[in-house]
A and B are shown apart, each in its own frame.
Chain A
Amino acid sequence: MIKYILKRLIYAIPILIGVNLLTFTLFFVVNSPEEVARLHLGNKRVTQEQIISWNEERGYNNPLFYNTDEKGLNAFKETIFYEKSFKLFLFEFGLSDSGRDIKYDIKQRMWPSLAIALPSLLVGLFINITFALFFVYFRSTKVDYIGVIFCVALMSISSLFYIIGGQYLISKLMHLVPISGYAHGYEAIKFLVLPVIISVLYGIGSGTRWYRSLFLEEIEKDYVKTAKSKGLSESAVLFNHVFKNALIPILTGIVVILPLLFLGSLIVESFFGIPGLGSYTIDAIQSQDFAIVRAMVFLGTILYISGLILTDISYTLVDPRVRLK
């Protein structure tokens, strides 16, 4: 098992290198650091000195890959690639363009993100699976048909409407919870309720339909017929057989996104003023702070890959066909 995990980790390295090179190309080759500086300083009447000093402050004044002014290993070290891209592998995210310590920010902000994302995931999962089982129990009847249409309608509404509508209805008209903001400790709950409700609500349409189709796929298999011929009741068949088999794709589908929960949700966090990584990313995008965006791309990739590895491990834990091979 440990060997297996090690092997998966080794496989992840070329992918991380690929992602690193891609972002490097995107951020430093497509547009030179000089052009980026010009954008930040405003286009007109920028002197060359201003640009140079802006770049110097942020360490963008070195050559891209090879520094001819330095000797030996330093010729590679004193470059943008080493400073800005390679160091990501060492989890040194450096300073943002506005001079903040990115690593510190990430450490601070990942917990509020998780505080929203995890309950949303769990509550959503519970509700979606319950609905899906309900529809599957009443499959081929009007209940199922109307339920599916309802799901399609729910998933045809943009997430923005859920957020704006929810904020307006619950916070502004009914004054149940504050519109936005965040506090630490138990105080946070009243700020978290609304975003969680809205995230769950938004996910019901697509989630229920997805789980329903998983269950339906299982229910058409032959072993269900065997179970029924044993005289098991419809609900026993649904829970003991169909649910158990469908649980494998469901579980592994969740595991893959578990690490990504730290990244939080971009729009939910920014609408509700939650100081998580999602709103951090959005702020960075809107203020064009590329250092943060680069760091988040790398972090996101690492989390995604670890999600994939966790998925494979979870397969071996839940699926006897994989476990016992």
Chain B
Amino acid sequence: MFTFLLTDIFFYLIIFSLCIYINYVRKTPDIKQTWSHVFKNKTGIISSVVLSFFMLTALLDSIHIKDKLYNENTDQYIYTSEIKSLLDIIILPIHKNSEKSYSAPFSSHLYSKETIKINNKDKRIYPKLLHKGNHNKFSEKNSYNIFLTTLFSFLKTIFIIFLIYVFIFYKKIFKTKDFFYSAKLNKIFLGSLFSMIFVIMLFYDLGSQYYVLGTDKVGEDVLYKSIKSIRTGILIGTLTTIVMLPFAIFLGIFAGYIGGFVDDIIQYIYTTLNSIPSVLLIASAILMLQVYMTNNPLEFENIYERADLRLFFLCMILGLTSWTGLCRLLRGESMKLREVEYVQASQTFGLSKFSIIVRHIIPNIMHIVIITVVLDFSALVLAEAVLSYVNIGVDPTTYSWGNMINAARLEMSREPIVWWSLFSAFLFMFMLVLFANLFSDVVRDAFDPRANKNYE
């Protein structure tokens, strides 16, 4: 049975509004023109391909299912309290089993010695891993097996890309000729698609035979943890902006366009909020939330919903503390637009303030909103890690890169060190943030009239 967590619903909402926006862009030539700058650009294409795979992962991880269990005593099916996502089902081979404790990437044994009785003698050995690392598919020899598996994934990827090529480019179903402008850009698109699919295939094929990125303290696959953390990162990056957008847009426009007393009040509100160092404001709000949640444990059904609610509130709080910047930008822009001649022309028609805002102001400030949204995304993903480190981030049971790094602090001081948790968190986070940053650069260049266009 499908089950919907609070953040799931909001994430669907985000995807839905994204689709509406894409549709709107397709119908509006001048905005389409601006967006086409993004896709005329090498960096733009590569980063949007990578980011869409991240988004897809987050989406798959946001479709949640409860299992049915047959209860023999009552002769009824009941739903387990455990919640799985579609992503869990797809990558089941990676995470269905776990080990006892740490093991290094591609290792076949645990990382530390244990005393085991063999022939009634206590021996300190590295125990063999139970589920992976000892079940090679192609060859007994590890290196050879890894090579063959890689080759196999490579061939599979070529096949998939071939299908995509035939489907999109040969039959011209999406009229992609218009979309990517030149054969060179088409190649870049296919190339980045190929690398993404290949990486996924490789992780999947190797991941079902080995612990590609090792296991953590309780023996859980680190690769799985890193993949599951994608959803948390993306949710914090997107949900937060969605929460703050209405505040920022409407207050910013009211302050800038209507001015006077309204302007004074809105300015006062955001200067006040802005004056508090943001970490302290977030910390205070989260601490109070924690007090509330510990004192009212009954309101939260199970640990999933509890963790989810905390994630949701974290986004709310981050959103409420971060709208001030955008609000100030929009206030300034609306003040400028108020004096622009097409707004004055509408005033001479006697249009009401409301219709001027809807018809003239909002469409002409949207570029600032878009730039801010993509620019904030990566900052928020990075912020999550820091907040989790300070214990005011997501729930400790939620998979997140911040929690992984937090745990890795102790692992780094072990002898010999356990480096792979930190490495995986670094790898995944770096990829997401890097491509988000590159993407936002391209978007800003396309939308910001002042951006320097020295690079083509």
A and B touch in the complex (CB under 8 A): yes
Contact B284 A297 (CB under 8 A): yes
Task: Kindly provide the distance from the CB of B328 to the nearest chain A CB, expressed in whole angstroms.
Answer: 13
A-chain residues with CB within 8 Å of residue B392 when the two chains form the complex: 285
Q: Which of B271, B280, B285, B391 has the most CB of A within 10 A?
A: B280
CA distance A288 to B417 in the complex (A): 31
CA distance A217 to B386 in the complex (A): 32
Contact A31 B288 (CB under 8 A): yes
| Residue interface mask A235-277, B partner, CB < 8 A = 1 | 0000000000000000000000000100100110000000000
| Residue interface mask A30-48, B partner, CB < 8 A = 1 | 1100011011000100000
Judge whether A178 is part of the interface by a CB distance below 8 angstroms.
no
Judge whether A282 is part of the interface by a CB distance below 8 angstroms.
yes
CA distance A268 to B386 in the complex (A): 11
Contact A282 B291 (CB under 8 A): no
Q: A23-B284, A31-B292, A139-B454 are in contact. Are A155 and B437 (CB under 8 A)?
A: yes
Contact B438 A15 (CB under 8 A): no
Task: Kindly provide the distance from the CB of B446 to the nearest chain A CB, expressed in whole angstroms.
Answer: 16
Which parts of B403-442 form the interface with A (CB within 8 Å)? 405, 408-409, 412, 417, 422, 426, 429-430, 433-434, 436-438, 441
A-chain residues with CB within 8 Å of residue B405 when the two chains form the complex: 158, 160-161, 164
Stretch of A114-122, A299-307, A317-325 lying at the B interface: A299-307
Task: Tell me the dominant secondary structure on chain B's binding face.
Answer: helix
Which parts of A278-325 form the interface with B (CB within 8 Å)? 281-282, 285-286, 288, 290, 293-294, 296-297, 300-301, 304-305
B381 to chain A: closest residue by CB? A158
Task: Kindly provide the distance from the CB of A279 to the nearest chain B CB, expressed in whole angstroms.
Answer: 11
Instruction: Bin the interface of chain B by size.
Output: 35 or more
| Residue interface mask A149-189, B partner, CB < 8 A = 1 | 00011011111110010011000000000000000000000
Task: Kindly provide the distance from the CB of B269 to the nearest chain A CB, expressed in whole angstroms.
Answer: 8
Q: How many A-B residue pairs have CB under 8 A?
A: 133
Judge whether B390 is part of the interface by a CB distance below 8 angstroms.
yes
Judge whether A126 is part of the interface by a CB distance below 8 angstroms.
no
B-chain residues with CB within 8 Å of residue A305 when the two chains form the complex: 275
Judge whether B281 is part of the interface by a CB distance below 8 angstroms.
yes
CA distance A43 to B27 in the complex (A): 58
B-chain residues with CB within 8 Å of residue A267 when the two chains form the complex: 386, 389-390
B-chain residues with CB within 8 Å of residue A263 when the two chains form the complex: 277
Contact B287 A160 (CB under 8 A): no
Judge whether B212 is part of the interface by a CB distance below 8 angstroms.
no
CA distance A305 to B273 in the complex (A): 12
Kindly identify which residue among A152, A161, A285, A301 contacts B283, using a CB–CB cutoff of 8 Å: A285
Kindly identify which residue among B294, B389, B429 contacts A43, using a CB–CB cutoff of 8 Å: B294
Judge whether B276 is part of the interface by a CB distance below 8 angstroms.
yes
Number of residues from A at the complex interface, CB < 8 A = 52
Contact B422 A164 (CB under 8 A): yes
Task: Kindly provide the distance from the CB of A160 to the nearest chain B CB, expressed in whole angstroms.
Answer: 5
Judge whether A26 is part of the interface by a CB distance below 8 angstroms.
yes
Contact B276 A160 (CB under 8 A): no
A-chain residues with CB within 8 Å of residue B426 when the two chains form the complex: 157-158, 161
Contact A153 B268 (CB under 8 A): no
A-chain residues with CB within 8 Å of residue B292 when the two chains form the complex: 30-31, 35
Judge whether B382 is part of the interface by a CB distance below 8 angstroms.
yes
Judge whether B385 is part of the interface by a CB distance below 8 angstroms.
yes
Kindly identify which residue among A39, A160, A217 contacts B385, using a CB–CB cutoff of 8 Å: A160
A-chain residues with CB within 8 Å of residue B454 when the two chains form the complex: 139-140
Contact A18 B390 (CB under 8 A): no
Judge whether A19 is part of the interface by a CB distance below 8 angstroms.
yes
CA distance A267 to B217 in the complex (A): 24
Judge whether A14 is part of the interface by a CB distance below 8 angstroms.
yes
Contact A217 B288 (CB under 8 A): no
Kindly identify which residue among B287, B288, B452 contacts A220, using a CB–CB cutoff of 8 Å: B452
Judge whether B295 is part of the interface by a CB distance below 8 angstroms.
yes
CA distance A49 to B197 in the complex (A): 63
Q: A160-B405, A300-B276, A301-B275 are in contact. Are A168 and B386 (CB under 8 A)?
A: no
B residues whose Cβ falls under 8 Å from a Cβ of A? 268-269, 271-277, 279-281, 283-285, 287-288, 290-292, 294-295, 297, 378, 382, 385-386, 389-392, 401, 405, 408-409, 412, 417, 422, 426, 429-430, 433-434, 436-438, 441, 450, 452, 454-455
Q: Can you offer 23 A-B residue contacts whose CB atoms are under 8 A?
A: A15-B268, A26-B288, A30-B292, A31-B292, A31-B295, A35-B291, A39-B291, A43-B295, A140-B455, A145-B455, A152-B438, A152-B441, A156-B436, A158-B385, A158-B405, A159-B386, A164-B422, A213-B452, A266-B386, A294-B284, A300-B276, A304-B274, A304-B275
Closest 4 CB pairs of A and B: A18-B272, A156-B434, A300-B277, A156-B433
